[in-house]
Structures are given as structure tokens and as C-alpha cells.
Amino acid sequence: MKKIRIISFVLLALIVLSGCQNQATDNIKDNKGADKRRIVNTITGEVFIPANPQRIADISGSSEELLLMKQNLVATANTDPYNTSEFPSYIEDQMKEVKIVGFSMMDTMDIEGILESNPDLIIMSRRQEKIYDQLKKVAPVVMIKDYANDWKNKMNELARLFKQEEQVQNWLEDYDNKAQDIAKKIIKAKGEQTYLTVLASGGQFYIFSNGGIGAIIYEDMKLAKPANLPDQKGISLPVVTMEGLSEIDADHIIVIATKGAKKDLERSSVWKSIRAVKEGNVSIFESTPYFGQGYNPIGRKLLLDIIAEKLSK
């Protein structure tokens, strides 16, 4: 009988322990009966997050990805790079109830604003690592890598986080197919041409070699690069002078320009002497919202249609 009691006690203990472990990893509830929680592996280690987050604060620059995945945002740092107190115009309608708490390219944020938004999950980039310990006191925090220009891998990481891999894969395939279809139409209309993508701002000329609108042209649409295109390392765009622009002998120039830079170009004799300019093969986009738009998925897809309209003429 003593042995039977011992065996029964051990079995009971195992059952209780197993139940506790299951509860810890997949079924934790607070006293109010909140959503279930689960463990995710992140670059900071294992983190408990809500199984179905209802109030996400994103400061990683991934808010457009989260909108595509139908996740509910309450705070964001996805703002227009040229006006960081406002949303990009093309997503304003989807962000009416979302609080701006900073700019995603910065390493610190409005922590009080994040706290006021009452998030149940915070997504941040390694770029903001120095405020990680402060944010952990507000809500569970998932830190993602700083993907720089690798937007597809960032999107895939978020898809894995929210278990929406199939939905995201379908979106990416649709995007790639659209980019290729538009590229074929442009080539049919204009023939095989080379394209130079440049940002004109503050008297400087920044070359989009593999970021922003340049990545859309060269990587997504696979249109041809000019032979003298400078290399880009990381997120920093190579800088050239006006004379340097003329040495990159492209058939067509795509310029994102501030209003002041656009006026400077119109007055410049060097600009007017560049072959593509003389031949009328120039497409100019306003810096707001098009500069930042080229780095985010909703913006990229919208830009495809705008590029098609500009380059097919």
C-alpha cells in the first residue's frame, strides 16, 4: 500500500507539472481572463507575448507590414522622413487612431507616449536597443534585426512572428509579378534603356543604388543600371556632385527632389547639359511622400503604378 501511495503521488505530481508547463507556454491568463500567451524566440531570447495581440506599438519601422497583416496598431514610428510629425499621405486613412511616438530611424522614442497608448506588445528594432529595458516595463517587447534595405526578409520575420507566412508569401508573389509585368510594359514602350535613380536634397545628389526607389527599379523590376552607377553600402546613399551625375550616363533619370532642389535643377546649366535631360527623359517625384515610400511595402506597391505611368509615356 505504501508503494502504491508513492507511485500515485509521483503520477499526480507529473500530471500537475505537465499542466503547469502547458499553461506557462501556451495558456497563461491574467485575473481578468486575458488572451492566451505564447513564447517566441527573439534576438534577446525567449519572450512571452499575447497569442493574439490587440494593441501593438511598433517603433521598428514595420507598421506597413503590420497593416498588411491586419494587425491592430496603437502607436507607430512610421512617419514621413521629411515631416516626422505626420504620416505618409498614402497611409493616413489607415492610421487615424494611431499615435506617433517617434521616427523609426532614430535610436530613441517618446516612451511616455508609448506608455499612454497602453500596448499589449511592442515591436522594436535593434537600432533602439538602448531603450529596451525601459520598454520591457511597459509591455512584452520583440526586438527584430535592423534589416536596412532587406525589406523582404524583415517582412518574412514578422510573418513568422504572427504565424502569417502563407498570407505574406502570397502578397510578395503578387508584388513580384506586378513589378515584372510593369517592367515588360516599360521595355515595350521605351526599349532597353538604363535608369539612374537619384535624390536631390540640400544641394547634394544621393544615388539610390540598392535602396528605396532604386531597389524597385533595379531589383524588383530588373530594369538596367547605367555602367557607372556607384556602389551602395548599408543604408547610406552614395553622394555625387552635379558633374558626377553627368558622368553616370543613363538613358533616363528618375529624381526624387525637395521643392528647393527642383528649382535649383531648373536653373542649372550643368543639369540641362546632361544627355537624358536634353532628350527629355527625366521623371521627377516630390520628396514627400516618395522618398520614404520606396522603403515600405504598401508604398512600394503603390509606386509601381506611378512608375509605370511615368516611364511608359
Q: Is the pLDDT of residue 23 over 80?
A: no
The dihedral through the CA atoms of 82, 116, 75, 155 has a sign that is positive
DSSP assigned state of 92: G
Structure confidence at residue 235 (pLDDT) = 83
Give the global pTM. Answer: 0.85
Question: Which of the residue ranges 8-22, 49-63, 64-78, 95-109 would you say has the lowest mean pLDDT?
Answer: 8-22
Superfamily of domain 168-311: Nitrogenase molybdenum iron protein domain (3.40.50.1980)
Structure confidence at residue 218 (pLDDT) = 96
Percentage of the chain surpassing pLDDT 70? 89
State the pLDDT confidence band at 313, using cuts at 50, 70 and 90. Answer: confident
- Specify the pairing of strand 121-125 against strand 141-144: parallel
Structure confidence at residue 22 (pLDDT) = 40
Q: What is the mean pLDDT of the chain?
A: 89
Per CATH, 28-147 and 168-311 having the same topology is answered: yes
State the pLDDT confidence band at 302, using cuts at 50, 70 and 90. Answer: very high
Query: Counting every residue, how long is the chain?
Result: 313
State the pLDDT confidence band at 35, using cuts at 50, 70 and 90. Answer: low
CATH code of the domain made up of 28-147: 3.40.50.1980
Average pLDDT over residues 14-19: 41
Average pLDDT over residues 155-161: 96
Buried b (16+ CB within 10 A) or exposed e, 171-207: bbeebeebbeebbeebbeebeebbbbbbbbbeeebbb
Cross-strand partners of 57? 75, 122
Q: For the chain, which residues make up each domain, given as ranges?
A: 28-147, 168-311
Average pLDDT over residues 182-203: 94
Structure confidence at residue 149 (pLDDT) = 85
CB-count burial class (<10 Å; 0-12, 13-18, 19+) for 257: buried
